[in-house]
Amino acid sequence: MNFGKSSWRTYEQGIQREWLLTNGIGGFSSSTIIGANTRRYHGLLVAALKPPVSRHLILSKIDECVTVDNESFNLFSYEVPGFVMAGHHHLERFEYDFIPKYIYRVKDVYIEKEICMVYGENTVAVVYRIINGPSRTNLRLTPLVNFRDYHFNSSRAYMNFDRKVEKDVLTIRPSFYDIDIKLYLSDGKFAELDDTWFYNMDYAVERERGLSSTEDHYIPGYYDVEIMPMEEKCITFVATVEKSINHRDGLAIIEKEKMRLKKLISKSGYKDELAKRLVLAADNFIVHRQSTNAKTIIAGYPWFTDWGRDTMIALTGLTLSTRRFDDAKEILYTFSKYVKDGLIPNMFPDAGHEPPYNTVDAALWYFEAVSKYVKYTHDYKFIKENIYDGLKEIIDCYSKGTHFNIKADEDYLITAGDEHTQLTWMDAKVGDWVVTPRHGKAVEINALWYNALKIMSQLSKHFKEDAEMYDKMAEKVKKSFVDSFWNEEKKCLYDCLTQSYKDDKIRPNQILAVSLSNPIIEGDKAKSIVDTVLKELYTAYGLRSLSPREKEYVGVYAGDQYKRDGAYHQGTVWTWPLGQFITAYLKVNNYSPEAKKMAMRFIEPFKDHLEDACLGSVSEIFDGNEPLIPRGCFAQAWSVAEILRAYVEDVMELI
């Protein structure tokens, strides 16, 4: 990906695109293509101190200033209240080929800057290449250091640092913390500054979200790098919170990371450019969790950690479609150890207490993930020895009843929760306000329940065990489902049922009744569901969470948390259900050539989106109203996963 000055004619235009690097343990590096930080989550080094959590901003940015012929030019950009520093005027190109690369020009001097993280470490390297003209030139690098939880903003009043310089390493220790921040520069002289701070950096995105948007950063000093006339010089800056600086050759760090990413593409076997880009995007979310000593899936960047539901939905696309079968096995095995009363954790806390199990669908998505794993790998032995008993427990507990009022009713359909709980993926709640009440019998939960029973039947038969119970239950669930959920008036499915009402709002959840490995609805009814969803909910980047025809519809996801949560599942576009929709669309149209062409039309918009918002990734959500502005997490696991899965499995039909 290549961008030029037409992409940052104004500061506001330049901050629309962002980039993300990750380190495989939950840490990351991120900013905009003009180098201005617009989020509290932006920074050259956001370290995961308890991988993949306890993330802390360590190095906000490096401000570069070039002096040529006694004239100085700032290359950095930022915003403070009432003022914008426009260093991006000197930015000639921005390239994103595995890693971000900035190319600046001042008079006849070119400065290239590449950024790369060390995989498996909380370490970032910034490599500068200066191509000088006939004048003597100075490059001044000023690091902006911090140490705070990435969800908060810092203030000078609450920050103090100790500083020590030894040879070529500057060690900075935040007061009252047993951690050292180490900075290293391969070539240059460091000048210490006392009690120096950058005040009131203003973050446009946080301001838009109704949150505190300004913060301060510590400036320990600056580095001066002299470049002689006609000299070409390459220097490496390293920042880390590891016990020692293990890597000092920036070019070697970059080469090693590029080789790792190229191997992932090669392992996937795809030649298609879109598929290859999505394989790289998938890598950002697969990380190591220290507390379980196993791989897990980060739900989204910059602010989510790992969640059970998101993991199970995303597992197929992220690990199986990319041929990362060992990672898939590790994740499935980890969750098998935490099955409790028929539920799997919604997340893994790191404070030593019990993980929360407050989700009705995560355990049911687990079956779909297992089924897909078997389809891709044929590794029944692993499932029988490690997973199968846990699946039996889930079915048994859902049948008899478990926590949060989750149980099979007299009609064999699953009911869950009450008016105070949010157990499905549409879980927004503000104080006591349940934004999308879906307690009772939710449509996708019962589609997943039927699918789970059918998968258990298939596994039991393979293992030569009695499957009759699962088959009989599945038949009863299917009959009750059709009788209860079919909305004859709207020719689609009710979204949720309680004893007192049937919710006929048109939402995307019903698509799972058609898209799962074992669809509970087929034939004309399935075709009608898909047609209704296409007409009422489809957009270029996903499915609206509520039809615009409904009075509760909110078309713009913006404002403070109250307004945003009020729109989250009330019209906001979600990408992940689009993958399921594409699968369902092709199913009901028998994978005809015409249907394949249409499915490709559903995929095409993401070629553009991968060069917008967070480069190379897919956003969590978009406004329900045109022009579908990307919102929420700028890189979301299940968004990437479901587009890749549907593209590979259904459009290209490679599985």
DSSP output for 109-137: EEEEEEEEEPTTSSEEEEEEEEE--SS-E
Q: Give DSSP secondary structure letters for 168-205.
A: TEEEEEETT-S--EEEEESS-EEEE-SS-EEEEEE-HH
Q: Which amino acid is present at 536?
A: E
**Cα–Cα distance between 127 and 184 in angstroms, integer?**
12
pLDDT over threshold 80, residue 263 = yes
Task: Using CA atoms of 481, 487, 491, 495 in order, give the dihedral in degrees to the nearest 10.
Answer: -70
Cα 424 from chain centroid (whole Å): 19
pLDDT above 70 as % of the chain: 100
Give pLDDT tens digits for 438-458.
Answer: 999 999 999 999 999 999 999
pLDDT one-digit tens code per residue, 34-49:
999 999 999 999 999 9
Angle at 111 between CA 56 and CA 227, to 5 degrees: 110
Confidence of residue 473 (pLDDT cuts 50, 70, 90): very high
Please, how many CA atoms are within 13 Å of residue 481, restricted to the half-sphere of its CB? Answer: 32
* Model pLDDT for residues 140-179, shown as the tens digit of each residue: 999 999 999 999 999 999 999 999 999 899 999 999 899 9
What local confidence, expressed as pLDDT, does residue 353 receive?
73
**For range 562-569, the mean pLDDT:** 94
Secondary structure class of 571 (helix, strand, coil): coil
| pLDDT for res 352 | 62
Mean pLDDT of 557-586: 96
Closest CA to 311 of 347, 264, 339: 347
> Which residue has tokens 């897919």?
618
Distance CA 278, CA 618 (A): 9
Work out the percent of the chain whose per-residue pLDDT is above 90: 96
SS3 breakdown of the chain: % helix, strand, coil, rounded to 5? 35, 30, 35
pLDDT confidence of residue 555? 97
Q: What is the pLDDT of residues 367-386, one digit of tens each?
A: 999 999 999 999 999 999 99
CA-closest candidate to residue 329, choices 363, 269, 282, 376:
376
Beta-strand pair 300-301/635-636: antiparallel
pLDDT digits (tens, 9 = 90+) for 295-318: 999 999 999 999 999 999 999 999
Q: Are 618 and 23 in contact (CB under 8 A)?
A: no
Residues 6+ apart with CB under 8 A from 34: 8, 11, 14, 15, 77, 87, 88, 91, 94
Residue 431's pLDDT is what?
85
3-state secondary structure 346-370: CECCCCCCCCCCCCCCHHHHHHHHH
Per residue, what are the HEC states of 376-422? HHCCHHHHHHHHHHHHHHHHHHHHHCEHHHEEECCCCCEEECCCCCC
- Confidence band, pLDDT 50/70/90 cuts, at residue 354: confident
The pair of three-digit structure tokens given for residue 638, joined into one six-digit string: 């299940």
Q: Which residue has the tokens 């301001």?
A: 207
Q: What is the Cα–Cα distance from 197 to 648, expressed in whole angstroms?
A: 50
